[in-house]
Amino acid sequence: MKVCGNTDIGLVRKSNEDDYCVTKNRNGDWLAVVCDGIGGSQAGEVASHIAVNCIYEEFMKAPDLSKDKRVSAFIQESLNKANDKIYTKSMHNKKQRGMGTTCVGVIITKKGTYIFNVGDSRLYALYPDGFIQMSEDHSVIAQLLKEGKLSYEEAKGHAQRNTLTSALGVWRVYRMDLHKIANNFKALILC
């Protein structure tokens, strides 16, 4: 398996709020996770770093992930811990209050590939006919598009185009999507 990762400040922000990890554990399972601190929020880079480190630490001591239920429970517990750490840290530091991060990840085991996301960081899979977006954005715009209340053209300039409906660390409760996908992809991109 070939893996690579990179992060870039981009053309708009003054600081880079992204963090990521790609690693293999003692069981031979792979983890790739990308977190993007919420832009314009207090200490987004702190939130993304906490989330990536928490998920990495849990993954490195993960039990055998040979059953779907174990993988599901592991991902949920890891994200819960990350969410709690970020939320608690933000409550103890006024400068970090309200910090949060999006999160997208994949765990590849001998039994399957599991993708998960919170917020609007995305996962794409490459198939013979091209890339397909495998994650669903948790945002006001995505919801309005899904409900047919907004066109793609209207979404481009909408006032709430950057408003998330879920993120780690901002609220005690968050939405997480988790899916098992077939291993017939050529490549995965987390961004």
Q: Classify residue 82: in a domain, yes or no.
A: yes
Q: Tens digit of pLDDT for each residue in 15-28?
A: 789 999 999 999 99
Q: Classify residue 157: in a domain, yes or no.
A: yes
Give dist(CA 134, CA 98) in Å, integer. Answer: 28
Q: Classify residue 10: in a domain, yes or no.
A: no
Give dist(CA 114, CA 57) in Å, integer. Answer: 18
Q: Tens digit of pLDDT for each residue in 68-90?
A: 999 999 999 999 999 999 999 99
Q: Tens digit of pLDDT for each residue in 83-138?
A: 999 999 999 988 888 899 999 999 999 999 999 999 999 999 999 999 999 999 99
Average pLDDT score over the chain:
92
Q: Classify residue 4: in a domain, yes or no.
A: no
Residue with tokens 């708009």: 12
Evaluate if residue 13 carries a pLDDT over 80. no
Evaluate if residue 45 carries a pLDDT over 90. yes
Give dist(CA 62, CA 118) in Å, integer. Answer: 21
Q: For the chain, how many structural domains are there in total?
A: 1
Q: What's the confidence (pLDDT) of residue 39?
A: 61
Residue 163 identity (one-letter amino acid): T
Q: Classify residue 5: in a domain, yes or no.
A: no
CATH of the domain at 24: 3.60.40.10
Q: Tens digit of pLDDT for each residue in 137-152?
A: 999 999 988 898 888 8
For the entire predicted model, the pTM comes to 0.93
Q: Classify residue 11: in a domain, yes or no.
A: no
**Which SS3 state, helix, strand or coil, does residue 179 take?**
strand
Q: Classify residue 127: in a domain, yes or no.
A: yes
Structural domain range at position 48:
18-190
Q: Classify residue 6: in a domain, yes or no.
A: no
